[in-house]
A and B are shown apart, each in its own frame.
Chain A
Amino acid sequence: MTLKRIQTVIIKEWREAFKGGKTVWIGTVAIPLILLGVSFFQLFHLSDIRAIPPEELVGTLFLVPFLYFLMFPMIIPHSMAIYAIMSEKEQKSLEPLLATPLRTGELLLAKTLASVIPALAITWVAFGLFLIVIQFVLPASVLEWAWQQFSTIWLMTLGLFAPLAATFMTLAAMAIATRVSDVRTAQLLSSFAMLPILMAAFFLIFQNLLEKPALLGGLCAALLVLDLVLLGLNVKLFGREEILTRWR
């Protein structure tokens, strides 16, 4: 493993993906921005927002936008991870790539990180923006109150759920992309992979999650297991022979 080779591949992935066209921009940047915009719009348009006691704002102000932060880590890496595999297959660029000293483990790690890093960065930045907007629009006491209420869940979501979910989505999308021959099928199938996790997240929100952070912990534990399984699968799929002879 050398860091330099991994870094080289990651930078190439980003350069290529963002020059690669609309899908990656839409999936990685545009959709999160739109979702974030919608939640801000809600904030600004509640009439008399400053007069409502914070307790009554929980649903509209915190839980709904909060859903986005469960979704972001899953949505954002999706298109990038598919692109990372499909574009190599379409351009037949894997053979010369594998003819370099690059190890297949390094390739897998680099491609995974290339999708997970932007997903986490964007999720965290979006969350930061969200906090800033609350501070701006609502009385200062609201953020203070919210922090006391939600900080455990927030930190768990951003620090635990987000990396696990982004890794899950990336590994699932890459594994699927190695096995199908067109981008649309890959997108469709990996969206199915996303569904159960998203449904679990929705379910948690309506299970009084705020009082039971253990539920989120359970989801994270399940994700960790899934991630490990997917990692094992990807390690198999990323064998040199496998890539050269069976990725079609």
Chain B
Amino acid sequence: MIHAEGLTRRFGERIAVENLSLGIGAGEVFGFLGPNGAGKTTTVRMLAGLLAPTTGRALVAGVDVCAEPQRVRSVVGIVTEHPGLYEKLSAWHNLKFYADLYDVKSSETQIEKYLNLLGLWERRCEPVGTFSKGMKQKLAIARALLHEPHVLFLDEPTSGLDPESAKTVRNFIAQLASEKRTIFLCTHNLYEAEQLCSRIGLIKQRLIKVGSPQQLKRELYGRHIIIDLKEPISLSEDWQLPFVRDVQINGRRLLVQLDDPEVQNPVLVQRLVELGAQIQFVREQDRTLEEVYLDLIAQEKP
């Protein structure tokens, strides 16, 4: 659905995005993470036909963003960093304006549908200036969906929202994903990325890494098994099993690094029991995506 090759964008001397190549399949929710100024918004603008890349090319929904930016704009939906609504106009008139620009057939039905879905129908006649930040954000999402785009770009859709509104928006994104829309989600919220995205790309001017949240965690840290014992145990030098890559003993807790715990755990547990360990719990250590993110960004020297 989205296919980018060597996408680069300069602003004068400054390179905002460098040599970005990326493929995103239909129906995928792709998370785009990176620190401030990493080039997320610039990437979205290029892919949505708003800014021309300096070099490189991209196909979005089968349309070349360099050759036919206007067609790209008519088939994708975008929720920009700022909702950018007309505050003096009512929610209805804001949506009607956009529906007409997108040339939406039966625009009134579409407007009604999305105002209802996002819980704004009751307040459709009020000027948007009176809306809360969360309501504005929802309206901006509704606006991006009126023409039923198959590809949707969301640039930090939950930033600045209270936890409850953020959750509503996240649930709505999950619902959109279940409708097989391709979603490109820029976010600073790692929890959100982990919850919603099947794959994640880390960018800091260049694309640092792409993978599923689990893959990213594993690749960076290997896999660690935490074993909690009833009593501390002292292990002699010769207890080692060949596949154990590292062990840290911390009182009653062992932290064991393995390559393939599904196969190796039973052997490990049996060996420990033979050595007299009384095992209470065995579980895999779960790194947060936040740790992965911070480590990867720190490794990436400018």
Residues of A within 8 A of B (CB): 4-5, 8-9, 12, 15-16, 19-20, 87, 91-103, 240-241, 244-245
Contacts and interface: CB of A to CB of B under 8 A. Distances in A.
A241 B42 CA distance: 12
B84 A93 contact: yes
Interface residues of B, number: 33
A193 to B, nearest CB: 27
B84 A97 contact: yes
Interface stretch (B25-33, B97-105, B162-170, B189-197): B97-105
7 contacts: A4-B100, A12-B93, A96-B143, A97-B84, A99-B49, A100-B98, A241-B51
Given A5-B100, A92-B84, 15 more contacts: A15-B93, A19-B88, A91-B86, A93-B85, A93-B86, A96-B80, A96-B140, A99-B49, A99-B50, A99-B80, A100-B74, A100-B98, A101-B71, A103-B70, A244-B45
A101 B74 contact: yes
B97 A12 contact: yes
Given A4-B100, A100-B101, A102-B101, A20 B52 contact: no
Contacts of B86: 12, 16, 87, 91, 93
A240 B73 CA distance: 13
A101 B149 CA distance: 13
A101 B51 contact: no
Contact of B100 (A8, A16, A87, A94): A8
Q: Which 8 A-B pairs have the closest CB atoms?
A: A93-B84, A92-B82, A101-B74, A8-B100, A100-B101, A19-B88, A95-B80, A96-B84
B44 to A, nearest CB: 10
Contacts of A19: 88-89, 127
The residue among A9, A94, A99, A244 with the most chain B CB atoms within 10 A of its own CB is: A99
The DSSP consensus for interface residues of chain A is helix
B216 interface: no
Contacts of B88: 16, 19-20, 87
A100 B101 CA distance: 7
Given A8-B100, A245-B11, A101 B70 contact: yes
A5 B89 contact: no
A94 B49 CA distance: 14
B277 interface: no
Interface string B112-138: 000000000000000100000000000
A12 B78 CA distance: 21
B72 to A, nearest CB: 9
Contacts of B103: 4, 101
B284 interface: no
Contacts of B97: 8, 12
A101 B85 contact: no
Contacts of B185: none
A95 B102 contact: no
Contacts of A87: 86, 88
B17 interface: no
Interface in B7-62: 11, 45, 48-52
B70 A8 contact: no
A190 to B, nearest CB: 22
B82 A95 contact: yes
